Structure formats: structure tokens, C-alpha cells
């Protein structure tokens, strides 16, 4: 299949492809999404095929206003109203009981559906010109999510109908996912909207254990995506927990030809291996923005082992930790000097 590369002003062509049952990669403020008509099970099935995504991992449906979100669910409780009012359009996904029009391919057989109203103007326009769009991240399943059109081309050229090149994604990590379908609001995936921000508007929320821990044997994932190895470059990622001094000392003493470091600005002076900078240590928004490009960059350097400095879990740090610990297959080494 030939993949068209479109500019944002060629969005009409993309909308037509979607209306005809095709699949298109679109920019969003989080990461690039691979979109199809969310109400057409056959169109949605192509997304799973192109990504190599397991069919039991449900998709997020993207809408262009709150009214459209309400057409996809059986109920829209008070907490959903408050969250939508405060954080939409933006990087927050809300899980609710699904309406019958949602095909099984989207919900992977669950009785719920994940809904998000993105803020990126290209994504919003594409939805307005077509329909609600089911869209997971536009990468091959398991690899780091794409935050530029170039990343999408690297993974998807020849596998999908078109890619809209809307430049770099602002946030750089996927949306925060909260479920309102259980007894208490529960955070299933941390993202650009932090747990602290959610608590400020709806009070106490639970944090799913799978956010920071591996699933135990036989345990069922509340969010099926959490059970798969994820976000991983080809290189072996190892997280080092400790001070900058200890991190630098450990990396330098484990240096061979195929080692690289994923580090903070402040650490570059001390490292004697090739490094990729995430941002300043206290600038977690910047680190989130750079994370997936950095993981892809590690492979470009030909690294076999990547030592990443373990982020703290405050604010957006929890989203970075959640991604990087999966990239590392939950391997953490405590380091000290």
C-alpha cells in the first residue's frame, strides 16, 4: 500500500479516506494517533493489523466536543461533567459504560469505552470533517510512541493510507486515563494531566497498582494495555535509582562500546559514554516531551544497553516513570557512591 504524506491544509483528503473506511495517522497534542471511523468495526480492525496490536487491547475514541462524547456512552456522571469542563479539550481520557453503537473491535469486548476530546487543532478538524475517531498511538505495537511524523513514517510507511504531518507533539506522552465506570474514580494510566490536578477537582482518586508495578501472575489488567511490554527501543533499558553522582559513577564504570545514557542536562559534564538528554532535572514537562524521541534515538546510536536515571514520581514525573519502567521491563538497580 502506498502511504500518502499530507500537510494539514490537505486535511480534506484525510477526512475522505476516513469516511471511505481507511486509516490515517494524525497529530494530537499527546502523540500521533492512528485513526479510523470509531463506529465502523471493519475500519477499526485495520488499525490492529497495521500496528500488530493484540485484539484484546481496546482503543480510545476521539471526539470534537462534549456533546459527541455523550453519544458514545450510556451515562455521563457528574464527575465526567466536571473533568470534561476542566480538562477538555486536552490530554485526559475518561472511561465510561459504552453505548451500543460502539463496535466490539473498539472496546475489545469490554462493556466500557474510553473517550477523549483532544486539543490539537488538526485532530479536532479531522474529527469535525469525518466522525468520532478510534485512535491508538501510531507506532508498531510495543515500540516507543511517535511524537513526530518522521517516527510514524519509520514505523508505518506502506502499512496505512496516509499520515498528516502536523509537526512535533506538544506533550509527548499519551493521555492520562481515568475510569469512572467502577465504584471509585481510578487512574489507569498517568499522563500530562496529573493525579494531583484530578484530585483538585473531583477529590480522592485511586491509583491502579499497574501504574508503577508489574502485573502479578494471573492478575487481570484493569487497562489491558498495561500488561504488554511497551515503549521499548531495541536496546536493553536499565533504570538506575540514586543521586546524579551515583548514576554518573555507575554508568562510567559500566561503559563498553554499546552503552548510552539517558540523562538530565545537569549530568552531561560527568558522563563518558554517548548520552541523550531528556531536559533539566526539575523540568518534567520537557522530559515527557523528549522521552519517546530519546528512546528512538538510543537505537539510532546503536546502543545495546541504555542506562536511564530514574525520575521522581511527582506530577508529570509519574507518567515518565510509568513509561520508562515499562521500556525497562521493570529492571531497576539501586546505585550509590
**Phi, psi (rounded to 5 degrees) for 204:** -60, 135
Could you give the CA distance from residue 219 to residue 152 in angstroms, rounded to a whole number?
Answer: 33
Could you give the CA distance from residue 245 to residue 306 in angstroms, rounded to a whole number?
Answer: 17
User: Between residues 53 and 124, which has the closer beta carbon with respect to ligand AMP?
Assistant: 53
Interaction between residue 137 and ligand AMP (CB under 6 A):
yes
Could you give the CA distance from residue 51 to residue 162 in angstroms, rounded to a whole number?
Answer: 14
Among 37, 46, 57, 147, binds ligand AMP (CB under 6 A): 57
Which residues ranging from 92 to 111 are in contact with ligand AMP (CB under 6 A)?
95, 107, 110
User: Between residues 38 and 328, which has the closer beta carbon with respect to ligand AMP?
Assistant: 38
Among 105, 120, 165, 174, binds ligand AMP (CB under 6 A): 174
Among 25, 43, 48, 58, binds ligand AMP (CB under 6 A): 58
User: Between residues 122 and 226, which has the closer beta carbon with respect to ligand AMP?
Assistant: 226
The three grid cell numbers given for residue 13, joined into one nine-digit string: 483528503
User: Between residues 90 and 267, which has the closer beta carbon with respect to ligand AMP?
Assistant: 90
What's the closest the beta carbon of residue 223 comes to ligand AMP, in angstroms? 4
3-class secondary-structure state, position 256 = coil
Q: Tell me: cis bond preceding 89? Omega within 30 of 0 counts.
A: yes
What's the closest the beta carbon of residue 60 comes to ligand AMP, in angstroms? 5
Interaction between residue 17 and ligand AMP (CB under 6 A):
no
User: Between residues 143 and 223, which has the closer beta carbon with respect to ligand AMP?
Assistant: 223
In the numeric block, the cell 456522571 is attached to: 77
Interaction between residue 112 and ligand AMP (CB under 6 A):
yes
Among 97, 142, 224, 242, binds ligand AMP (CB under 6 A): 224
> SS3 sequence, 137-198?
ECCCCCCCCCCCHHHHHHHHCCCCCEEECCCCCCCCCCCEEEECCCCCCEEEECCCCCHHHH
* 242-276 residues labelled b (16+ CB within 10 A) or e (exposed): beeebbbbbbeeebeeebbbbbbeebeebbebbbb
For ligand AMP (CB under 6 A), the number of binding residues is 20
Stretch that binds ligand AMP, among 67-75, 219-227, 275-283, 300-308 (CB under 6 A): 219-227
Residues near ligand AMP, by CB under 6 A: 57-60, 95, 107, 110, 112-114, 136-137, 174, 177, 188-189, 223-226
Amino acid at each position: 500500500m502506498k502511504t500518502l504524506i499530507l500537510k494539514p491544509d490537505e486535511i480534506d483528503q484525510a477526512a475522505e479516506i476516513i469516511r471511505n473506511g481507511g486509516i490515517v495517522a494524525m497529530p494530537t497534542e499527546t502523540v500521533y494517533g492512528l485513526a479510523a471511523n470509531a463506529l465502523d468495526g471493519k475500519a477499526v480492525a485495520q488499525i490492529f493489523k497495521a500496528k500488530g496490536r493484540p485484539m484484546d487491547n481496546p482503543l480510545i475514541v476521539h471526539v470534537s466536543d462534549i456533546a459527541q462524547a455523550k453519544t458514545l456512552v450510556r451515562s455521563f456522571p457528574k464527575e465526567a461533567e466536571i473533568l470534561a469542563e476542566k480538562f477538555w479539550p486536552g490530554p485526559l481520557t475518561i472511561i465510561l459504560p459504552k453505548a451500543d453503537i460502539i463496535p466490539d473491535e473498539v472496546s475489545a469486548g469490554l462493556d466500557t469505552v474510553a473517550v477523549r476530546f483532544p486539543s490539537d487543532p488538526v485532530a479536532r478538524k479531522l474529527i469535525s470533517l469525518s466522525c468520532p475517531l478510534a485512535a491508538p498511538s501510531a507506532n508498531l505495537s510495543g515500540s516507543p510512541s511517535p511524537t513526530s511524523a518522521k517516527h510514524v513514517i519509520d514505523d508505518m510507511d506502506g502499512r496505512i493510507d496516509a499520515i498528516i504531518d502536523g509537526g512535533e507533539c506538544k506533550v509527548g506522552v499519551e493521555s492520562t486515563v481515568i475510569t469512572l465506570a467502577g465504584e471509585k474514580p481510578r487512574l489507569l494510566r498517568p499522563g500530562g494531566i496529573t493525579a494531583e490536578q484530578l484530585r483538585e477537582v473531583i477529590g480522592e482518586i485511586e491509583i491502579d497498582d499497574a501504574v508503577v508495578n508489574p502485573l502479578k501472575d494471573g492478575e487481570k489488567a484493569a487497562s489491558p494495555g498495561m500488561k504488554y511490554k511497551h515503549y521499548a527501543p531495541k536496546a536493553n533499558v536499565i533504570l538506575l535509582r540514586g543521586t546524579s553522582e551515583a548514576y554518573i559513577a555507575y554508568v562510567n564504570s559500566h561503559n563498553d562500546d554499546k552503552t548510552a545514557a539517558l540523562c538530565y542536562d545537569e549530568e552531561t559534564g560527568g558522563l563518558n559514554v554517548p548520552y541523550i538528554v531528556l531536559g533539566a532535572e526539575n523540568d518534567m514537562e520537557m522530559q515527557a516531551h523528549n522521552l519517546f524521541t530519546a528512546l528512538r534515538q538510543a537505537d539510532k546510536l546503536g546502543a545495546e544497553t541504555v542506562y536511564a536515571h530514574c525520575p521522581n514520581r511527582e506530577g508529570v514525573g509519574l507518567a515518565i516513570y510509568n513509561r520508562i519502567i515499562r521500556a525497562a521491563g521493570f529492571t531497576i538497580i539501586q546505585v550509590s557512591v
